[in-house]
Structure 1
Protein backbone atom coordinates (compact mmCIF):
# COMPACT_ATOMS: atom_id res chain seq x y z
CA UNK A 1 0.00 0.00 0.00
CA UNK A 2 1.36 3.38 -1.00
CA UNK A 3 1.09 5.88 1.84
CA UNK A 4 0.88 9.66 1.39
CA UNK A 5 3.95 11.65 2.35
CA UNK A 6 3.01 13.83 5.27
CA UNK A 7 5.02 16.88 6.29
CA UNK A 8 4.80 18.50 9.70
CA UNK A 9 6.64 21.37 11.28
CA UNK A 10 7.99 20.39 14.71
CA UNK A 11 9.11 22.51 17.64
CA UNK A 12 9.05 22.29 21.42
CA UNK A 13 9.68 24.82 24.15
CA UNK A 14 12.62 24.09 26.42
CA UNK A 15 10.53 22.53 29.20
CA UNK A 16 9.39 19.85 26.80
CA UNK A 17 12.86 18.72 25.70
CA UNK A 18 15.34 19.50 28.49
CA UNK A 19 15.07 16.16 30.33
CA UNK A 20 14.83 12.55 29.09
CA UNK A 21 11.24 12.23 30.35
CA UNK A 22 10.07 15.50 28.78
CA UNK A 23 6.94 15.63 26.62
CA UNK A 24 8.79 15.64 23.29
CA UNK A 25 10.40 12.31 24.07
CA UNK A 26 7.21 10.82 25.50
CA UNK A 27 5.60 11.68 22.15
CA UNK A 28 8.41 10.10 20.17
CA UNK A 29 8.36 6.96 22.31
CA UNK A 30 4.62 6.64 21.63
CA UNK A 31 4.72 7.52 17.93
CA UNK A 32 8.11 6.66 16.41
CA UNK A 33 6.77 3.39 15.03
CA UNK A 34 4.03 5.15 13.08
CA UNK A 35 6.31 8.02 12.07
CA UNK A 36 8.75 5.54 10.51
CA UNK A 37 6.06 3.31 9.03
CA UNK A 38 4.33 6.21 7.33
CA UNK A 39 7.51 8.08 6.43
CA UNK A 40 6.26 11.27 8.08
CA UNK A 41 8.66 14.15 7.48
CA UNK A 42 9.38 16.31 10.51
CA UNK A 43 10.84 19.73 9.73
CA UNK A 44 12.32 20.41 13.12
CA UNK A 45 13.48 23.72 14.59
CA UNK A 46 17.17 23.64 15.60
CA UNK A 47 17.11 23.27 19.38
CA UNK A 48 14.33 20.69 19.21
CA UNK A 49 16.28 18.76 16.57
CA UNK A 50 19.41 18.89 18.72
CA UNK A 51 17.48 17.50 21.69
CA UNK A 52 16.14 14.58 19.65
CA UNK A 53 19.67 13.77 18.51
CA UNK A 54 21.01 14.10 22.06
CA UNK A 55 18.54 11.48 23.28
CA UNK A 56 19.39 9.14 20.41
CA UNK A 57 15.86 9.12 19.01
CA UNK A 58 14.94 8.72 15.32
CA UNK A 59 18.56 7.82 14.59
CA UNK A 60 19.23 7.47 10.88
CA UNK A 61 15.70 8.53 9.98
CA UNK A 62 15.82 10.62 6.80
CA UNK A 63 12.48 12.25 7.57
CA UNK A 64 13.95 14.19 10.51
CA UNK A 65 14.95 17.42 8.80
CA UNK A 66 16.75 20.18 10.64
CA UNK A 67 15.66 23.80 10.41
CA UNK A 68 17.55 26.78 11.89
CA UNK A 69 17.35 27.75 15.54
CA UNK A 70 14.33 29.84 16.47
CA UNK A 71 16.45 32.93 16.90
CA UNK A 72 17.72 32.38 13.38
CA UNK A 73 14.25 32.17 11.89
CA UNK A 74 13.44 28.48 12.24
CA UNK A 75 9.92 29.02 13.55
CA UNK A 76 9.31 31.72 10.95
CA UNK A 77 10.18 29.19 8.24
CA UNK A 78 7.56 26.82 9.61
CA UNK A 79 4.95 29.57 9.24
CA UNK A 80 5.89 30.12 5.60
CA UNK A 81 5.82 26.41 4.81
CA UNK A 82 2.36 25.94 6.31
CA UNK A 83 0.99 28.44 3.83
CA UNK A 84 2.66 27.05 0.69
CA UNK A 85 5.31 24.62 -0.45
CA UNK A 86 8.72 25.50 -1.78
CA UNK A 87 10.46 24.46 -4.97
CA UNK A 88 7.42 22.50 -6.11
CA UNK A 89 6.94 20.62 -2.82
CA UNK A 90 3.65 20.39 -1.02
CA UNK A 91 2.97 22.73 1.91
CA UNK A 92 3.14 21.32 5.42
CA UNK A 93 0.17 19.26 6.57
CA UNK A 94 0.25 20.94 9.97
CA UNK A 95 2.45 21.89 12.91
CA UNK A 96 3.28 20.19 16.19
CA UNK A 97 4.53 22.81 18.63
CA UNK A 98 4.70 21.54 22.20
CA UNK A 99 4.15 24.71 24.19
CA UNK A 100 5.15 25.56 27.73
CA UNK A 101 2.45 28.10 28.64
CA UNK A 102 4.84 30.14 30.81
CA UNK A 103 7.65 30.28 28.25
CA UNK A 104 7.73 33.84 26.80
CA UNK A 105 8.61 32.52 23.33
CA UNK A 106 5.18 30.88 23.11
CA UNK A 107 3.66 34.31 22.48
CA UNK A 108 6.33 35.61 20.12
CA UNK A 109 4.88 36.81 16.79
CA UNK A 110 6.11 33.74 14.90
CA UNK A 111 4.41 31.39 17.38
CA UNK A 112 1.12 33.26 17.13
CA UNK A 113 1.43 33.46 13.35
CA UNK A 114 2.05 29.70 13.11
CA UNK A 115 -1.18 28.98 14.94
CA UNK A 116 -3.13 31.56 12.95
CA UNK A 117 -1.94 30.28 9.59
CA UNK A 118 -2.74 26.70 10.55
CA UNK A 119 -6.28 27.76 11.42
CA UNK A 120 -6.60 29.88 8.26
CA UNK A 121 -5.50 26.98 6.05
CA UNK A 122 -7.48 24.32 7.92
CA UNK A 123 -4.45 22.43 9.23
CA UNK A 124 -3.80 21.06 12.70
CA UNK A 125 -1.92 23.21 15.17
CA UNK A 126 -1.05 20.71 17.88
CA UNK A 127 0.36 22.15 21.10
CA UNK A 128 -0.01 19.40 23.74
CA UNK A 129 1.46 15.95 24.28
CA UNK A 130 -1.95 14.28 24.25
CA UNK A 131 -2.88 16.10 21.06
CA UNK A 132 0.36 15.14 19.33
CA UNK A 133 -0.07 11.44 20.14
CA UNK A 134 -3.69 11.58 19.05
CA UNK A 135 -2.96 13.35 15.77
CA UNK A 136 -0.42 10.77 14.66
CA UNK A 137 -3.15 8.19 15.27
CA UNK A 138 -5.56 10.28 13.19
CA UNK A 139 -3.14 10.18 10.27
CA UNK A 140 -2.46 6.49 10.81
CA UNK A 141 -6.14 5.55 10.70
CA UNK A 142 -6.93 7.77 7.71
CA UNK A 143 -4.04 6.18 5.82
CA UNK A 144 -5.79 2.82 6.24
CA UNK A 145 -3.35 1.34 8.76
CA UNK A 146 -4.43 -0.77 11.69
CA UNK A 147 -5.18 1.39 14.77
CA UNK A 148 -2.50 1.49 17.44
CA UNK A 149 -3.97 -0.17 20.56
CA UNK A 150 -1.55 1.70 22.81
CA UNK A 151 -3.39 4.93 22.02
CA UNK A 152 -6.79 3.60 23.07
CA UNK A 153 -6.38 4.90 26.62
CA UNK A 154 -6.48 8.46 25.25
CA UNK A 155 -9.57 7.74 23.20
CA UNK A 156 -11.98 6.31 25.75
CA UNK A 157 -14.65 8.93 25.16
CA UNK A 158 -17.04 7.31 27.64
CA UNK A 159 -14.80 8.70 30.39
CA UNK A 160 -14.21 12.12 28.86
CA UNK A 161 -15.81 15.53 28.46
CA UNK A 162 -15.66 17.50 25.23
CA UNK A 163 -16.11 21.27 24.98
CA UNK A 164 -17.77 22.64 21.83
CA UNK A 165 -17.15 26.34 21.23
CA UNK A 166 -17.53 28.52 18.13
CA UNK A 167 -17.16 32.17 17.30
CA UNK A 168 -20.17 33.93 15.78
CA UNK A 169 -19.22 33.48 12.12
CA UNK A 170 -18.63 29.76 12.66
CA UNK A 171 -21.62 28.79 14.80
CA UNK A 172 -23.48 27.40 11.80
CA UNK A 173 -20.48 25.23 11.00
CA UNK A 174 -20.38 23.97 14.58
CA UNK A 175 -24.03 22.97 14.38
CA UNK A 176 -23.38 21.22 11.06
CA UNK A 177 -20.36 19.46 12.57
CA UNK A 178 -22.39 18.27 15.55
CA UNK A 179 -25.20 17.12 13.29
CA UNK A 180 -22.86 15.15 11.02
CA UNK A 181 -20.97 13.56 13.90
CA UNK A 182 -23.78 13.41 16.44
CA UNK A 183 -23.30 9.74 17.31
CA UNK A 184 -19.56 10.17 17.87
CA UNK A 185 -20.02 13.22 20.10
CA UNK A 186 -22.80 11.44 21.99
CA UNK A 187 -20.26 8.81 23.06
CA UNK A 188 -18.64 11.33 25.38
CA UNK A 189 -19.58 11.13 29.02
CA UNK A 190 -20.39 14.84 28.94
CA UNK A 191 -20.50 17.75 26.52
CA UNK A 192 -20.11 21.39 27.51
CA UNK A 193 -20.39 24.62 25.52
CA UNK A 194 -20.52 28.37 25.87
CA UNK A 195 -23.82 30.25 25.83
CA UNK A 196 -25.32 30.68 22.36
CA UNK A 197 -23.47 27.73 20.87
CA UNK A 198 -24.73 25.51 23.66
CA UNK A 199 -28.33 26.61 23.10
CA UNK A 200 -28.14 25.84 19.39
CA UNK A 201 -26.56 22.45 20.01
CA UNK A 202 -29.28 21.51 22.47
CA UNK A 203 -31.93 22.52 19.94
CA UNK A 204 -30.21 20.31 17.39
CA UNK A 205 -30.12 17.35 19.77
CA UNK A 206 -33.79 17.70 20.70
CA UNK A 207 -34.73 17.87 17.02
CA UNK A 208 -32.95 14.54 16.58
CA UNK A 209 -34.91 12.87 19.34
CA UNK A 210 -32.66 13.47 22.33
CA UNK A 211 -34.83 13.36 25.50
CA UNK A 212 -36.58 16.71 25.80
CA UNK A 213 -36.00 16.93 29.56
CA UNK A 214 -32.27 16.33 29.24
CA UNK A 215 -29.81 18.84 27.73
CA UNK A 216 -27.30 17.34 25.31
CA UNK A 217 -24.70 19.91 26.36
CA UNK A 218 -24.23 21.73 29.62
CA UNK A 219 -24.26 25.45 28.87
CA UNK A 220 -21.83 27.81 30.50
CA UNK A 221 -21.74 31.59 30.11
CA UNK A 222 -21.00 33.14 26.73
CA UNK A 223 -17.31 33.57 25.96
CA UNK A 224 -17.18 37.35 26.54
CA UNK A 225 -18.96 36.93 29.88
CA UNK A 226 -16.58 34.27 31.18
CA UNK A 227 -17.60 30.99 29.57
CA UNK A 228 -14.14 30.35 28.16
CA UNK A 229 -12.67 30.83 31.64
CA UNK A 230 -15.25 28.47 33.17
CA UNK A 231 -14.35 25.74 30.70
CA UNK A 232 -10.66 26.50 31.22
CA UNK A 233 -11.12 25.71 34.91
CA UNK A 234 -12.72 22.38 33.99
CA UNK A 235 -9.67 21.57 31.86
CA UNK A 236 -7.29 22.45 34.69
CA UNK A 237 -9.23 20.20 37.07
CA UNK A 238 -9.02 17.31 34.56
CA UNK A 239 -12.79 17.42 34.09
CA UNK A 240 -12.58 18.26 30.36
CA UNK A 241 -10.11 16.46 28.12
CA UNK A 242 -10.92 17.74 24.66
CA UNK A 243 -11.73 21.21 23.32
CA UNK A 244 -13.18 21.69 19.83
CA UNK A 245 -12.97 25.43 19.30
CA UNK A 246 -13.92 26.91 15.94
CA UNK A 247 -11.87 30.09 16.02
CA UNK A 248 -12.38 32.86 13.50
CA UNK A 249 -8.88 34.20 12.77
CA UNK A 250 -10.13 37.09 10.65
CA UNK A 251 -11.89 39.26 13.22
CA UNK A 252 -10.74 41.29 16.21
CA UNK A 253 -11.98 39.73 19.44
CA UNK A 254 -12.58 41.86 22.50
CA UNK A 255 -12.24 38.85 24.79
CA UNK A 256 -8.98 37.60 23.25
CA UNK A 257 -7.49 37.22 26.75
CA UNK A 258 -10.23 34.73 27.66
CA UNK A 259 -9.54 32.70 24.53
CA UNK A 260 -5.83 32.61 25.32
CA UNK A 261 -6.63 31.61 28.91
CA UNK A 262 -8.57 28.56 27.72
CA UNK A 263 -5.79 27.52 25.34
CA UNK A 264 -3.23 28.03 28.09
CA UNK A 265 -5.23 25.78 30.40
CA UNK A 266 -5.15 23.02 27.78
CA UNK A 267 -1.36 23.35 27.54
CA UNK A 268 -0.89 23.24 31.31
CA UNK A 269 -2.35 19.71 31.39
CA UNK A 270 -0.45 18.73 28.26
CA UNK A 271 -0.51 14.97 29.00
CA UNK A 272 -4.31 14.72 29.05
CA UNK A 273 -5.91 17.52 27.01
CA UNK A 274 -6.07 18.46 23.34
CA UNK A 275 -7.61 21.22 21.26
CA UNK A 276 -8.84 21.36 17.65
CA UNK A 277 -9.18 24.93 16.41
CA UNK A 278 -10.86 24.85 12.99
CA UNK A 279 -13.79 23.09 11.29
CA UNK A 280 -11.49 21.33 8.80
CA UNK A 281 -9.32 19.88 11.56
CA UNK A 282 -12.31 18.84 13.66
CA UNK A 283 -13.90 17.08 10.69
CA UNK A 284 -10.68 15.21 9.93
CA UNK A 285 -10.38 14.18 13.57
CA UNK A 286 -14.00 13.00 13.66
CA UNK A 287 -13.65 11.03 10.43
CA UNK A 288 -10.63 9.21 11.85
CA UNK A 289 -12.28 8.50 15.19
CA UNK A 290 -15.39 7.11 13.50
CA UNK A 291 -13.26 4.89 11.27
CA UNK A 292 -11.30 3.69 14.30
CA UNK A 293 -14.49 2.81 16.16
CA UNK A 294 -15.90 0.99 13.15
CA UNK A 295 -12.79 -1.19 12.93
CA UNK A 296 -12.97 -2.00 16.63
CA UNK A 297 -16.63 -3.05 16.56
Structure 2
Protein backbone atom coordinates (compact mmCIF):
# COMPACT_ATOMS: atom_id res chain seq x y z
CA UNK A 1 0.00 0.00 0.00
CA UNK A 2 1.38 3.40 -1.02
CA UNK A 3 0.22 6.65 0.57
CA UNK A 4 1.29 10.21 -0.13
CA UNK A 5 2.22 12.16 2.99
CA UNK A 6 2.43 15.91 3.53
CA UNK A 7 1.94 18.21 6.49
CA UNK A 8 1.84 21.98 6.66
CA UNK A 9 4.60 23.53 8.77
CA UNK A 10 2.33 24.04 11.80
CA UNK A 11 1.97 20.27 12.01
CA UNK A 12 5.68 19.43 12.19
CA UNK A 13 7.43 22.51 13.61
CA UNK A 14 7.61 21.31 17.24
CA UNK A 15 8.02 17.98 18.98
CA UNK A 16 4.32 17.57 19.86
CA UNK A 17 3.02 18.67 16.46
CA UNK A 18 0.14 16.84 14.77
CA UNK A 19 2.34 14.80 12.42
CA UNK A 20 4.26 13.34 15.34
CA UNK A 21 1.13 12.70 17.40
CA UNK A 22 -0.13 10.67 14.46
CA UNK A 23 3.07 8.69 14.07
CA UNK A 24 3.28 7.98 17.80
CA UNK A 25 -0.33 6.74 17.82
CA UNK A 26 -0.23 4.75 14.58
CA UNK A 27 3.41 4.06 13.80
CA UNK A 28 3.04 0.41 14.77
CA UNK A 29 0.04 0.08 12.46
CA UNK A 30 2.00 1.63 9.61
CA UNK A 31 4.71 -0.98 10.11
CA UNK A 32 2.23 -3.86 10.49
CA UNK A 33 0.53 -2.92 7.21
CA UNK A 34 3.85 -2.20 5.47
CA UNK A 35 2.54 1.14 4.22
CA UNK A 36 4.92 3.05 1.98
CA UNK A 37 4.84 6.74 2.90
CA UNK A 38 5.76 8.98 -0.02
CA UNK A 39 6.59 12.09 1.96
CA UNK A 40 7.04 15.58 0.56
CA UNK A 41 10.41 17.18 1.39
CA UNK A 42 9.93 19.08 4.65
CA UNK A 43 7.56 16.46 6.01
CA UNK A 44 10.17 13.77 5.36
CA UNK A 45 12.91 15.92 6.91
CA UNK A 46 10.81 16.52 10.02
CA UNK A 47 10.19 12.81 10.56
CA UNK A 48 13.92 12.13 10.40
CA UNK A 49 14.65 15.06 12.69
CA UNK A 50 12.59 13.66 15.54
CA UNK A 51 13.76 10.08 14.95
CA UNK A 52 10.38 8.53 14.17
CA UNK A 53 10.11 5.58 11.76
CA UNK A 54 13.86 5.13 12.18
CA UNK A 55 15.26 2.67 9.61
CA UNK A 56 11.76 2.16 8.16
CA UNK A 57 12.34 1.32 4.48
CA UNK A 58 8.84 2.41 3.53
CA UNK A 59 9.53 6.09 4.19
CA UNK A 60 10.38 7.69 0.84
CA UNK A 61 11.39 11.27 0.14
CA UNK A 62 9.74 13.46 -2.51
CA UNK A 63 10.78 16.99 -3.54
CA UNK A 64 9.83 20.01 -1.47
CA UNK A 65 6.39 21.43 -2.18
CA UNK A 66 7.84 24.45 -3.99
CA UNK A 67 9.85 22.04 -6.14
CA UNK A 68 6.78 20.11 -7.23
CA UNK A 69 6.39 17.54 -4.45
CA UNK A 70 2.63 17.98 -4.12
CA UNK A 71 2.24 18.04 -7.89
CA UNK A 72 3.93 14.64 -8.07
CA UNK A 73 1.51 13.29 -5.48
CA UNK A 74 -1.42 14.51 -7.60
CA UNK A 75 -0.07 12.77 -10.69
CA UNK A 76 0.48 9.53 -8.79
CA UNK A 77 -3.00 9.56 -7.29
CA UNK A 78 -4.21 9.60 -10.90
CA UNK A 79 -1.55 7.00 -11.76
CA UNK A 80 1.67 7.25 -13.75
CA UNK A 81 3.38 4.60 -15.91
CA UNK A 82 6.22 2.82 -14.22
CA UNK A 83 6.71 0.73 -11.08
CA UNK A 84 5.56 2.29 -7.81
CA UNK A 85 3.99 5.34 -9.41
CA UNK A 86 0.41 4.83 -8.30
CA UNK A 87 -0.70 6.04 -4.87
CA UNK A 88 -3.59 4.46 -2.98
CA UNK A 89 -4.46 7.71 -1.24
CA UNK A 90 -3.01 10.72 0.57
CA UNK A 91 -2.52 11.87 4.14
CA UNK A 92 -2.27 15.67 4.00
CA UNK A 93 -2.40 17.33 7.42
CA UNK A 94 -3.69 20.81 6.63
CA UNK A 95 -3.29 24.03 8.56
CA UNK A 96 -6.62 25.68 7.72
CA UNK A 97 -5.23 29.22 7.92
CA UNK A 98 -2.19 28.51 5.74
CA UNK A 99 -2.80 29.79 2.20
CA UNK A 100 -0.91 26.82 0.73
CA UNK A 101 -4.00 24.69 1.36
CA UNK A 102 -5.74 26.67 -1.40
CA UNK A 103 -2.90 26.37 -3.92
CA UNK A 104 -3.92 24.59 -7.16
CA UNK A 105 -1.86 21.49 -6.40
CA UNK A 106 -3.47 21.15 -2.94
CA UNK A 107 -6.99 21.55 -4.33
CA UNK A 108 -6.23 19.15 -7.18
CA UNK A 109 -4.83 16.59 -4.74
CA UNK A 110 -8.12 16.43 -2.86
CA UNK A 111 -10.22 16.52 -6.05
CA UNK A 112 -8.34 13.66 -7.73
CA UNK A 113 -8.63 11.52 -4.60
CA UNK A 114 -12.40 12.05 -4.69
CA UNK A 115 -12.61 11.35 -8.44
CA UNK A 116 -10.57 8.15 -8.14
CA UNK A 117 -12.34 6.99 -4.96
CA UNK A 118 -9.18 7.09 -2.87
CA UNK A 119 -8.86 8.31 0.72
CA UNK A 120 -7.96 11.96 1.17
CA UNK A 121 -7.05 12.19 4.84
CA UNK A 122 -6.67 15.70 6.23
CA UNK A 123 -6.76 15.26 10.01
CA UNK A 124 -4.94 13.25 12.67
CA UNK A 125 -8.19 11.58 13.71
CA UNK A 126 -8.98 10.62 10.10
CA UNK A 127 -5.53 9.11 9.65
CA UNK A 128 -5.72 7.11 12.87
CA UNK A 129 -9.21 5.96 11.92
CA UNK A 130 -8.15 4.90 8.42
CA UNK A 131 -5.10 2.98 9.67
CA UNK A 132 -7.23 1.11 12.22
CA UNK A 133 -9.80 0.24 9.53
CA UNK A 134 -7.04 -1.12 7.29
CA UNK A 135 -5.66 -3.14 10.21
CA UNK A 136 -9.07 -4.71 10.71
CA UNK A 137 -9.37 -5.52 7.00
CA UNK A 138 -5.92 -7.14 7.21
CA UNK A 139 -7.19 -9.47 9.94
CA UNK A 140 -5.22 -7.87 12.78
CA UNK A 141 -6.60 -7.58 16.30
CA UNK A 142 -8.20 -4.25 17.21
CA UNK A 143 -5.84 -1.64 18.61
CA UNK A 144 -7.09 -0.51 22.04
CA UNK A 145 -5.56 2.86 21.26
CA UNK A 146 -8.26 3.35 18.63
CA UNK A 147 -11.19 2.57 20.93
CA UNK A 148 -11.99 6.27 21.28
CA UNK A 149 -12.62 6.49 17.54
CA UNK A 150 -15.06 3.58 17.72
CA UNK A 151 -17.13 4.85 20.65
CA UNK A 152 -19.92 5.66 18.17
CA UNK A 153 -22.62 5.68 20.84
CA UNK A 154 -21.07 8.87 22.24
CA UNK A 155 -20.56 10.60 18.89
CA UNK A 156 -22.47 12.69 16.35
CA UNK A 157 -22.08 12.06 12.62
CA UNK A 158 -22.92 14.46 9.79
CA UNK A 159 -24.33 12.94 6.59
CA UNK A 160 -24.10 15.32 3.62
CA UNK A 161 -24.31 14.79 -0.14
CA UNK A 162 -24.35 17.04 -3.17
CA UNK A 163 -27.32 16.65 -5.51
CA UNK A 164 -25.62 14.22 -7.89
CA UNK A 165 -24.43 12.13 -4.95
CA UNK A 166 -27.72 11.85 -3.05
CA UNK A 167 -28.56 8.43 -4.59
CA UNK A 168 -25.17 7.14 -3.40
CA UNK A 169 -25.86 8.50 0.09
CA UNK A 170 -29.25 6.79 0.21
CA UNK A 171 -27.70 3.52 -0.97
CA UNK A 172 -24.93 3.87 1.60
CA UNK A 173 -27.36 4.55 4.44
CA UNK A 174 -29.49 1.58 3.35
CA UNK A 175 -26.51 -0.79 3.30
CA UNK A 176 -25.04 0.44 6.60
CA UNK A 177 -28.15 1.52 8.49
CA UNK A 178 -27.23 -0.46 11.60
CA UNK A 179 -23.75 1.10 11.83
CA UNK A 180 -25.10 4.63 11.36
CA UNK A 181 -27.85 3.98 13.91
CA UNK A 182 -25.22 3.30 16.56
CA UNK A 183 -24.32 6.99 16.70
CA UNK A 184 -25.82 9.05 19.49
CA UNK A 185 -26.92 11.67 16.95
CA UNK A 186 -27.03 12.13 13.19
CA UNK A 187 -27.21 15.52 11.50
CA UNK A 188 -27.60 16.50 7.87
CA UNK A 189 -28.40 19.33 5.52
CA UNK A 190 -31.77 20.07 3.90
CA UNK A 191 -32.97 17.56 1.34
CA UNK A 192 -30.43 14.89 2.24
CA UNK A 193 -31.60 14.93 5.83
CA UNK A 194 -35.25 14.59 4.81
CA UNK A 195 -34.53 11.70 2.46
CA UNK A 196 -32.55 9.94 5.20
CA UNK A 197 -35.42 10.38 7.65
CA UNK A 198 -37.86 8.88 5.15
CA UNK A 199 -35.48 5.96 4.67
CA UNK A 200 -35.26 5.42 8.43
CA UNK A 201 -39.04 5.52 8.85
CA UNK A 202 -39.35 2.89 6.13
CA UNK A 203 -36.92 0.74 8.12
CA UNK A 204 -39.06 0.90 11.27
CA UNK A 205 -37.59 3.98 12.94
CA UNK A 206 -40.35 5.64 15.05
CA UNK A 207 -42.44 7.89 12.80
CA UNK A 208 -42.60 10.64 15.42
CA UNK A 209 -38.80 10.81 15.74
CA UNK A 210 -36.26 12.13 13.25
CA UNK A 211 -33.36 9.79 12.53
CA UNK A 212 -31.38 12.81 11.26
CA UNK A 213 -31.58 16.30 12.74
CA UNK A 214 -31.99 18.55 9.71
CA UNK A 215 -30.18 21.84 9.22
CA UNK A 216 -30.51 24.29 6.35
CA UNK A 217 -29.68 23.21 2.81
CA UNK A 218 -26.05 23.71 1.77
CA UNK A 219 -26.66 26.84 -0.32
CA UNK A 220 -28.71 28.33 2.53
CA UNK A 221 -25.97 27.82 5.11
CA UNK A 222 -26.35 24.25 6.35
CA UNK A 223 -22.66 23.51 5.81
CA UNK A 224 -21.81 26.50 8.00
CA UNK A 225 -24.19 25.33 10.72
CA UNK A 226 -22.58 21.90 10.80
CA UNK A 227 -19.11 23.48 10.70
CA UNK A 228 -20.05 25.24 13.94
CA UNK A 229 -20.97 21.91 15.53
CA UNK A 230 -17.56 20.54 14.50
CA UNK A 231 -15.73 23.52 15.97
CA UNK A 232 -17.65 23.14 19.24
CA UNK A 233 -16.65 19.46 19.38
CA UNK A 234 -20.31 18.46 19.08
CA UNK A 235 -19.84 16.59 15.78
CA UNK A 236 -16.97 14.12 15.57
CA UNK A 237 -17.41 12.59 12.12
CA UNK A 238 -18.59 13.77 8.70
CA UNK A 239 -19.43 11.68 5.67
CA UNK A 240 -19.58 14.22 2.86
CA UNK A 241 -20.19 12.75 -0.59
CA UNK A 242 -18.88 15.46 -2.90
CA UNK A 243 -19.47 15.80 -6.62
CA UNK A 244 -16.12 16.98 -8.04
CA UNK A 245 -17.42 17.39 -11.59
CA UNK A 246 -19.68 20.42 -11.26
CA UNK A 247 -19.14 24.06 -10.39
CA UNK A 248 -20.60 24.75 -6.97
CA UNK A 249 -22.32 28.03 -6.23
CA UNK A 250 -21.69 27.71 -2.50
CA UNK A 251 -18.03 26.64 -2.73
CA UNK A 252 -17.07 28.92 0.18
CA UNK A 253 -19.56 27.18 2.47
CA UNK A 254 -18.21 23.76 1.51
CA UNK A 255 -14.66 24.90 2.21
CA UNK A 256 -15.83 26.29 5.55
CA UNK A 257 -16.94 22.85 6.70
CA UNK A 258 -13.78 21.19 5.42
CA UNK A 259 -11.61 23.79 7.15
CA UNK A 260 -13.55 23.39 10.40
CA UNK A 261 -12.69 19.68 10.36
CA UNK A 262 -8.98 20.42 9.94
CA UNK A 263 -9.11 23.00 12.75
CA UNK A 264 -9.93 20.23 15.27
CA UNK A 265 -7.52 17.77 13.68
CA UNK A 266 -7.25 15.36 16.63
CA UNK A 267 -11.01 15.02 17.06
CA UNK A 268 -12.77 15.15 13.67
CA UNK A 269 -12.92 12.48 10.98
CA UNK A 270 -14.06 13.26 7.44
CA UNK A 271 -14.70 10.90 4.50
CA UNK A 272 -15.60 12.15 1.03
CA UNK A 273 -15.89 8.98 -1.06
CA UNK A 274 -18.61 6.30 -0.97
CA UNK A 275 -15.94 3.63 -1.47
CA UNK A 276 -13.86 4.87 1.45
CA UNK A 277 -16.92 5.26 3.68
CA UNK A 278 -18.10 1.76 2.81
CA UNK A 279 -14.72 0.26 3.65
CA UNK A 280 -14.85 2.07 7.00
CA UNK A 281 -18.37 0.81 7.80
CA UNK A 282 -17.39 -2.79 7.05
CA UNK A 283 -14.36 -2.42 9.33
CA UNK A 284 -16.59 -1.04 12.11
CA UNK A 285 -18.79 -4.13 11.90
CA UNK A 286 -15.84 -6.52 11.88
CA UNK A 287 -14.16 -4.74 14.79
CA UNK A 288 -17.36 -4.81 16.84
CA UNK A 289 -17.85 -8.51 16.09
CA UNK A 290 -14.28 -9.23 17.19
CA UNK A 291 -14.83 -7.33 20.44
CA UNK A 292 -18.09 -9.15 21.08
CA UNK A 293 -16.57 -12.55 20.26
Q: TM-score higher than 0.5 here? A: yes
Q: Is the 8 A contact 1:202 1:216 kept in 2?
A: yes
Counterpart position of 1:51: 46
- Residue in structure 2 matching 1:123, options 118, 125, 137: 118
- Residue in structure 1 matching 2:255, options 260, 266, 274: 260
Q: Is the 8 A contact 1:85 1:92 kept in 2?
A: no
- Residue in structure 2 matching 1:110, options 95, 105, 110: 105
Is residue 150 of structure 1 aligned with residue 145 of structure 2? yes
**Deviant stretches of 4+, over 3 Å:** none
Q: Is the 8 A contact 1:27 1:133 kept in 2?
A: yes
- Residue in structure 2 matching 1:11, options 6, 12, 30: 6
SS at 1:95's partner residue?
A: strand
Counterpart position of 1:3: none
Gaps of 5+ in 1: 1-5
Is residue 38 of structure 1 aligned with residue 33 of structure 2? yes
Paired with 2:32 and 2:84, the residues of 1 have a C-alpha distance of 21
- Residue in structure 1 matching 2:186, options 188, 191, 195: 191
Aligned residues: 292
Q: CA 1:280–1:90 in 2, change beyond 3 Å: closer, same or farther? A: farther
Give 1:286 deviation, angstroms. 0.9
Bigger mean CA deviation after superposition, 277-286 or 218-227: 277-286
Give 1:90 deviation, angstroms. 6.1
Paired with 1:246 and 1:163, the residues of 2 have a C-alpha distance of 11
Paired with 1:81 and 1:157, the residues of 2 have a C-alpha distance of 34
Counterpart position of 2:174: 179
Gaps of 5+ in 2: none
Q: CA 1:293–1:48 in 2, change beyond 3 Å: closer, same or farther? A: same
- Residue in structure 2 matching 1:201, options 189, 196, 199: 196
TM-score (norm 2): 0.98
**1:54-69, aligned counterparts within 5 Å?**
54-69=49-64
Paired with 1:278 and 1:38, the residues of 2 have a C-alpha distance of 22
Is residue 295 of structure 1 aligned with residue 293 of structure 2? no
